[in-house]
Structure 1
Amino acid sequence: MAEYHWVRGIADEVLSRGDEEIVIHTGKTPSGPIHIGAEREQFICSALQRELERRGFQSRFNFIIDSFDPIKSIPAGLEVPKDFGDHIGKPLSDVPDPFGCHASYAHHFAEEFIGCQGRLGLYPNVIYSHELYMKKEMKDAIRTVLARLGELREIRRKYIQGDEEVNSGTDDWNPVMVVCERCGKIASKKKEVAPNKVDSWDLQRDEVKYRCVACGHEGKGKISDVRLKLSWRVDWTAKWAIFKVSCEPAGKDHCVKDGAYDMGIEVCQKIFGYKGPLRVSYEWLTLGEHAMKTHKGITFTPLEWLRVAPPEALRYLILSVDPMRHISFLPDRIPDIVDNLDRLERIRFRAEAPSGTESQEFLDDLYRICVVGEMPSSLPARLPYRFAVTTVQLGSILGEDKVLSKSISYTEKLNNRQSLSDKEVSDLKSRLEMARNWVASYAPPSLKFKISLETPSIKASPGAEQMFVESVIALVRSDLGEAELQNAIFESAKSLGLDLGKAFKLIYMALLGSERGPRLAPLLIALDREWAVSKLKAVL
């Protein structure tokens, strides 16, 4: 029985709802650099949208920038002016951009993230919450909350154990927050964040009153004029109702039994009169063993990913596993991830067979939702990322033009091609640049090397060692492929009774002047053949 990608099951559930319009939702607070963990939610939405399109159904994909949330802290490692802490408690949309290049702090980090999304194959409808809150729909949602606050408190009691909202008891809890007209803060932070709450209201006169917890100012005004906001659980639910959301993924912490999602669904149905969205729970994407936290400065951003790896590789990393499976990512894994993406492409075009435990149908689905841009009609010729990692380190002796020509000829031979298309050459150049950036920033010592221009200081001993070096010279001249060359070198050393470590050390000392180096076959192929032969002959 065919096993298809899990996104098909999500699409089945969305379509079974019978929504007049399919609306897919996600959101993020731009409290600092937005890391690649946020892309898990984005990519689930993107994959769902693509699957719906495959079946002939249109959908709307909204991405909410929660720019009206207060800034609670300054992320570790972020350089800001000395008095920047004075802005703590203001809406992110009101905090100045510390770098001076965007309209606000919120816009700086949101637009850095949004600017990458098209390159990652996502095209959401971007909505800033500070603008949304001035619209009639959100004002009406606030009026509904104030009118039905007693019912809302009853619902909340079932889900909140203890006080989640600072300085609020169950009986006087109120989710309506206000931006102080004097100090501009929506919250105050001493030891904890204390939100500014509306103290009293008159819905007939459409007025609210408040006392600012930050500066003590007492203010009042019309609901339509005062800058009001709902606390996050109710804010989330109000947006579901306003946009008639069909599906919104959420982290596992929100989706536990009696968690924020359960409360949200009940509030959505009983307070706002909408059935609520389909939930899709997902696990975390961590940076090794560390959870990525913007406020702690533990991040790896999509922009940084695109500097060192193809966009499809990030989609592959996230979409190749079930949403509830934890993903641990480290930058030194990027060559493996790109290799696996290339293998997926070969399987899709039947140039390679899946393993016995893999489903061809699942992999075909996966490839379709990983591709960014136009779907290839035939197998593209790709430069292997690992070869690029090796060859970009040879620029000092080969020259950059030779690095490019070597890479093109290697890719042509690997793919049995007479020439590459313009698009394939462009892709190859991009991979060389990504590999160069990755080597400079993330390559482990085992993959970094420098070519020695000096005469080798080592000599092969007469007998087996000299015979081994002579066999490697012959193999270099034989024009073998990478796998064949690597295996042939192994077999030569073994057949001569040499210790493999000592045999390979001899070759590395001849070429690099060091005892270790990158995988030998790609290095020998990337080097100028006669230069490599002359260095090997020098140890005889």
Structure 2
Amino acid sequence: MLQDLETLARDARSWPFEQARILLTHVLKKRLSDGERDAARLLIDAGKADEALAAFEALSRPVVLETGYGPSGLPHMGTFGEVARTTMVRQAFRALTGDHWATRLIAFSDDMDGLRKVPEGVPNPEMLREDLHLPLTKVRDPFGTHESFGAHNNARLQAFLDSFGFDYEFMSSTATYRSGRFDATLLTLLERYDAVMAIMLPTLGEERRATYSPFLPISPITGHVLQVPTLERNVETGTIVFDDPAGGRTEVPVTGGHVKLQWKPDWAMRWTALDVDYEMSGKDLIESVRESGKICRALGGVAPEGFNYELFLDIEGKKISKSKGNGLTMDEWLRYGTPESLSWYMFGSPKSAKSLHFNVIPRAIDDYLSFIDQYRTQEPAKRIDNAVWSIHAGSPPEVASPVSFSLLLNLVGVANASSKDQLWAYFARYLPGAKADSEPTLDRLMGHALNYYEDFVKPSKSYRLPSEQERAALLDLAGRLKALPADTVDGELIQGEVYAVGKEHAFEPLRAWFGALYEVLLGASQGPRFGSFAAIYGLPQTIELIEAGANGQLAPAANIS
């Protein structure tokens, strides 16, 4: 079975597997000679990754994937997207190599950066203003819960990642610099200072070039992270000399956490020191990735593989900006949708720009549910490319929800429901014996539907009066449904009557008939499968709704409200 999975992974076409194959090629090239690489590749392609690992000692080191986080603010949608997508690549790599090859996912917090401005919406801004330019792990915590602002946000990051079940290793820039883990690479950078400057200076403006240094010394007097020129560098002693505004000419070692690197050299230094094999980033960082890769090579390292994902757009098609607040926050998505639906949204077309606003959540939920349903009947070669394989690490749930999210939204509206208990009452006949503990996904979706309807659907409801053709069809449908047993819960039987009425009354195209049902009865331009909706809502209640719509009783009430 394991070998079958490896075979499927080699042929899989979804982007995580494409990236996994690229990563495998990168690691083999990075660690082995040409002849060794060919031999190892033959073994791996034959489903014998364990033999390849045993034959070549260089392959025994874990494959390292990294994601980065700037803790000057709280974790956000981009943080989730980067970790989720990198995790998908990691899972695909494990499948490709039979899970013989150890992997690590490092969530790196750049918490040694100086606080350059006071973030919006944070308590005690005056206190933060007093701590400007200190490393984030020296800035006092405005929330009063941790020893520093950086520690507070790091804790939030870890709690955030843990809540989604991500498997990762947290790493702090401050702790890593101070531990000496970066010392050897920092000394190499000091030695190759001119090569690094030759890469960086052409990318800077004239004024910036005059003062630029890859080293940001920490002032021994104020503790500030200083952006000052390096006046001298002493390779033999491992030190730099700079002019400290608080104390004049000063010499400090580049090791032991006495300096912090500018972010592009810092990125390259991390790749080298931590032997990073894979890191993805946003399309806006393409040039930064290129320059950091050059610095990595100048330090004797090998730049990691990865790809640049597209950024999200707001409802007007504009780039989302944290400072403008025109995006969708994690808390907002999770109020209206499930974590799985967010992972589904992150899976789809990462190299294409996508809108990220409230309107996409219902569709994302229903698409995720439909992919779960498809997975049950797909052949293995299709399953491994199904998004839910990547979302659930190869083990998606057997079942999702018996009804769609869009149906729940309409049920909430028509039933005027304000609690889960009211919604469960409608399902008592449709799903006999079903309860929250036996249908946990449905129960969660009910909560999301109640929130989404109240905040977005209800304010935008717009019923209309039926045309003469539509009124006749609605009354005909009501009559046909009255002929059915009142306790009918067969959605397909009801749906058959809906189709028959649409054809009998010559709606062309037939979808115009369904549009009329949604607009006249539900006050929306789209809706769920009407037969399923009627089965859950109840046949007598549905008949009453249809007759009210046919007689124009719904539109005036909506207009008055």
Shift of 1:483: 6.7
Shift of 1:225: 5.5
Going from structure 1 to structure 2, the CA distance change for 1:381 and 1:52 (only over 3 Å counts) comes to same
2:148 to 98, 104, 107: 104
Q: Distance in 1 between matches of 2:142 and 2:504?
A: 65
2:21 to 12, 20, 26: 12
Q: Distance in 2 between matches of 1:462 and 1:316?
A: 40
Q: Distance in 2 between matches of 1:283 and 1:404?
A: 41
2:307 is paired with a residue whose SS is strand
1:247 is paired with a residue whose SS is coil
Q: Which residue does the alignment assign to 2:356?
A: 329
Residues 380 and 424, structure 1, Cα contact 8 Å, conserved in 2: no
Within the alignment, does 1:167 sit opposite 2:185 as a pair?
A: no
Q: Which residue does the alignment assign to 1:297?
A: 325
Q: Which deviates the most, 498-507 or 7-16?
A: 498-507
2:176 to 132, 136, 144: 132
Q: Which residue does the alignment assign to 1:346?
A: 373
2:85 is paired with a residue whose SS is helix
Residues 344 and 367, structure 1, Cα contact 8 Å, conserved in 2: yes
Shift of 1:247: 1.1
Within the alignment, does 1:429 sit opposite 2:443 as a pair?
A: yes
Q: Distance in 1 between matches of 2:115 and 2:76?
A: 17
Shift of 1:311: 1.7
1:146 is paired with a residue whose SS is helix
Query: Relative contact order, CA 8 A, sep 6+: which one is greater?
Result: 1
1:24 to 41, 50, 65: 65
Going from structure 1 to structure 2, the CA distance change for 1:123 and 1:205 (only over 3 Å counts) comes to same
Going from structure 1 to structure 2, the CA distance change for 1:51 and 1:3 (only over 3 Å counts) comes to closer
Going from structure 1 to structure 2, the CA distance change for 1:405 and 1:154 (only over 3 Å counts) comes to same
Deviation string 1:93-147 (CA, Å, 9 cap, x unpaired) is: 2223333334433333443343232343422111111211112122333222222
Within the alignment, does 1:390 sit opposite 2:410 as a pair?
A: yes
Matches within 5 A, 1:432-443: 432-443=446-457
2:389 to 361, 368, 372: 368
Going from structure 1 to structure 2, the CA distance change for 1:434 and 1:182 (only over 3 Å counts) comes to farther
Q: Distance in 2 between matches of 1:483 and 1:200?
A: 81
Within the alignment, does 1:40 sit opposite 2:81 as a pair?
A: yes
1:151 is paired with a residue whose SS is helix
Q: Distance in 2 between matches of 1:281 and 1:502?
A: 41
Deviation string 1:1-60 (CA, Å, 9 cap, x unpaired) is: 976222222222222323532111111212323321333322231012111222222201
How many residues matched? 497
Unaligned stretches of 5+ residues in structure 2:
1-7, 29-58, 464-469, 552-561
Q: Distance in 2 between matches of 1:465 and 1:319?
A: 41
Q: Distance in 2 between matches of 1:517 and 1:82?
A: 50
Within the alignment, does 1:49 sit opposite 2:90 as a pair?
A: yes
Unaligned stretches of 5+ residues in structure 1:
188-194, 354-358, 413-417, 450-460
1:313 is paired with a residue whose SS is helix
Counterpart of 2:441, as a letter, is D
Q: Distance in 1 between matches of 2:537 and 2:497?
A: 18
* Higher helix fraction (1 or 2): 2
Shift of 1:238: 0.7
Deviation string 1:496-540 (CA, Å, 9 cap, x unpaired) is: 5899699759964xxx8x899966936644545545556667788
Shift of 1:76: 4.5
1:85 to 109, 122, 129: 129
Q: What RMSD, in angstroms, separates the aligned Cα atoms of the two structures?
A: 4.1
Going from structure 1 to structure 2, the CA distance change for 1:66 and 1:144 (only over 3 Å counts) comes to same
2:209 is paired with a residue whose SS is coil
Q: Distance in 1 between matches of 2:434 and 2:149?
A: 45
Q: Distance in 1 between matches of 2:504 and 2:78?
A: 49
Q: Which residue does the alignment assign to 2:488?
A: 479
Shift of 1:62: 0.5
Q: Which residue does the alignment assign to 1:71?
A: 115
Going from structure 1 to structure 2, the CA distance change for 1:370 and 1:173 (only over 3 Å counts) comes to same
Q: Distance in 1 between matches of 2:187 and 2:239?
A: 10
Counterpart of 1:404, as a letter, is W
Q: Distance in 2 between matches of 1:4 and 1:444?
A: 41
Residues 488 and 539, structure 2, Cα contact 8 Å, conserved in 1: no
Deviation string 1:193-245 (CA, Å, 9 cap, x unpaired) is: xx2454434444444443345x5765444445663100011100111111111
TM, length-normalised to structure 1 = 0.77
Counterpart of 1:251, as a letter, is G
Matches within 5 A, 1:245-284: 245-255=276-286, 259-271=287-299, 273-284=300-311
TM, length-normalised to structure 2 = 0.75
Counterpart of 1:151, as a letter, is A
2:224 to 185, 190, 199: 185
Shift of 1:150: 1.6
Q: Which residue does the alignment assign to 2:46?
A: none
Residues 335 and 448, structure 2, Cα contact 8 Å, conserved in 1: yes
Shift of 1:71: 2.6
Q: Distance in 1 between matches of 2:473 and 2:66?
A: 67
Counterpart of 2:203, as a letter, is Q
Counterpart of 1:112, as a letter, is R
Shift of 1:344: 1.0
1:296 is paired with a residue whose SS is coil
Matches within 5 A, 1:230-245: 230-245=261-276
Deviation string 1:440-462 (CA, Å, 9 cap, x unpaired) is: 4444744699xxxxxxxxxxx99
Overall identity of the aligned pairs, in %:
18
Q: Which deviates the most, 398-407 or 233-242?
A: 398-407
Q: Distance in 2 between matches of 1:82 and 1:394?
A: 50
Going from structure 1 to structure 2, the CA distance change for 1:395 and 1:86 (only over 3 Å counts) comes to farther
